[in-house]
Every structure is written in C-alpha cells, then in structure tokens.
Amino acid sequence: MVRYLAPLIIFIVLAFFLYVGLGLNPREVPSPFINKPAPDFQLQKLHSMNELFSNKDMLGKVWLLNVWASWCVACRQEHPVLVDMARRGEVPLYGLNYKDAPSNAKRWLNEHGDPYELSAVDYQGKVGIDYGVYGVPETFIIDKQGMIRHKVIGPISYQELNDCVMPVVNELNKREQIDPAALAVLSEVRKACSS
C-alpha cells in the first residue's frame, strides 16, 4: 500500500510547493528600509530649478514620496489613483522624478495631471540608488520623524491605496512618537498590504 501511495504523496507535496511558489511575487523583495531613516537628499525642484527640496523639509509631517518617470509605463497605470488621492488631500504627495529629462517630465505632468506638491529632479538616479529603487514606480510612506514606515513597489491600485497606504498613513498621523507598541500595530496594518 505504502509503495503505491508514496509517489502520490511526494507529488502532492511538490505540487503544494509549486502552488505556493507561483503565488509569490519575485519582484517584491523585502525592503531593508522599513523602520529606517529616509536617506537624506537635496535636489532641484522640477518646476523651479533654482530652488532645492530636501527630505528634511518634511520633518513633522507624514508624507508620501513617489518615484516616477515619464518613460515609466506602469506609472501611467498608477497615475489616476495618485491624482484622486491628491484631490482628497489627506496626505501630501511628493514626487521623485527618476532618471528623466525635466522637459519630458513637465510635458508628461501637463498631459496627465500633476498630483504632486512638487517633484524633485533625480536626473542621475543617485538618490534612487540611496533609496534602493529598482522598479519604478515605488512609493515610500515617511513618518513625522523622517522614518520610512512602508514601501509600495510597483503601481498603487485603488485597492492598495484604501487597504494599505491610507491605513498606514492614518495610523502614523495618530501618533507623535512611534514606540514598540505602535510598531506592532503598524506591522499588523501592513499585513493587508502584500497583494
């Protein structure tokens, strides 16, 4: 009996691993940035090139940093969601224009609408490397102390926005200080995120 059942059992185990493996998203690499300080940068503003924008300007606020580019196809998919989010005005959205010609970037925003408070120009992609960017678009949620609390890789869907991004933002907005108890709540909230 065992002799005949053994191949079947082995098959079922292998099929189970295959099934689980197919469900994983290889693009989603665990980010080493969660609960780490956002790397410092100082970059030109896309719409007024003689002014600089730094992540430090945002201390005291919960904000989103969205990495985008005019050449990025998936950004188009995400864009209406960002425009809607900006219209609701619940959380300030800043852009990091990654490896893009400023003229192209401006034209793209004119065409599709500009949801950003401002976009910072990372023409050489150096800040992108500091933020571990490997698949545009990426979105970082940064808290009042300037710590990265979540990172979305790839385009944000409405579902992702409502089930993941906004709950994390709301949780962060509620608190002045992120203590271990808050971290536990946050990691609980983030469970809705991996879609």
Partner 1 sequence: MFVMMRYIAVLVLLGLMIGGATVAAGEAAPMAADPELEKKVNEIAAELRCLVCQNQTIADSHAELAIDLKNQVREMVRQGKTRDDVVDYMVQRYGDFVRYRPPVKPTTYLLWVGPFLLLAGGLIILTVNLRKRKDLVSESPLSEEEHKKLESILHSENKTSGIKAGEGN
Which listed residue (45, 76, 99, 106) binds partner 1 by CB under 8 A? 99
Tokens representing 11 are: 């098959």
Residue 87 or 126 having the CB closest to partner 1: 126
Burial of 45 (0-12, 13-18, 19+ CB in 10 A): middle
Interface of this chain with partner 1, residues 112 to 131, rule: CB under 8 A: 125, 129-131
Half-sphere exposure of 164 (CA within 13 A, CB side): 21
Distance CA 30, CA 34 (A): 9
Residue 78 or 138 having the CB closest to partner 1: 138
Which listed residue (92, 102, 132, 146) binds partner 1 by CB under 8 A? 132
Residue 137 carries which DSSP code?
Answer: S
Binding track, positions 135-154, relative to partner 1; x by CB under 8 A? x-------------------
Cβ proximity of 119 and 137 under 8 Å: no
Interface of this chain with partner 1, residues 20 to 79, rule: CB under 8 A: 26, 29-32
Cβ proximity of 44 and 51 under 8 Å: yes
Residue 117 or 130 having the CB closest to partner 1: 130
Least Cβ distance, residue 120 to partner 1 (angstroms): 18
Which residues does 138 contact at the CB level (< 8 Å), separation at least 6? 66, 67, 131, 151, 152, 153, 154
Least Cβ distance, residue 157 to partner 1 (angstroms): 22
Residue 86 or 136 having the CB closest to partner 1: 136
Q: Tell me which residues touch partner 1 (CB under 8 A).
A: 26, 29-32, 99, 125, 129-132, 134-135
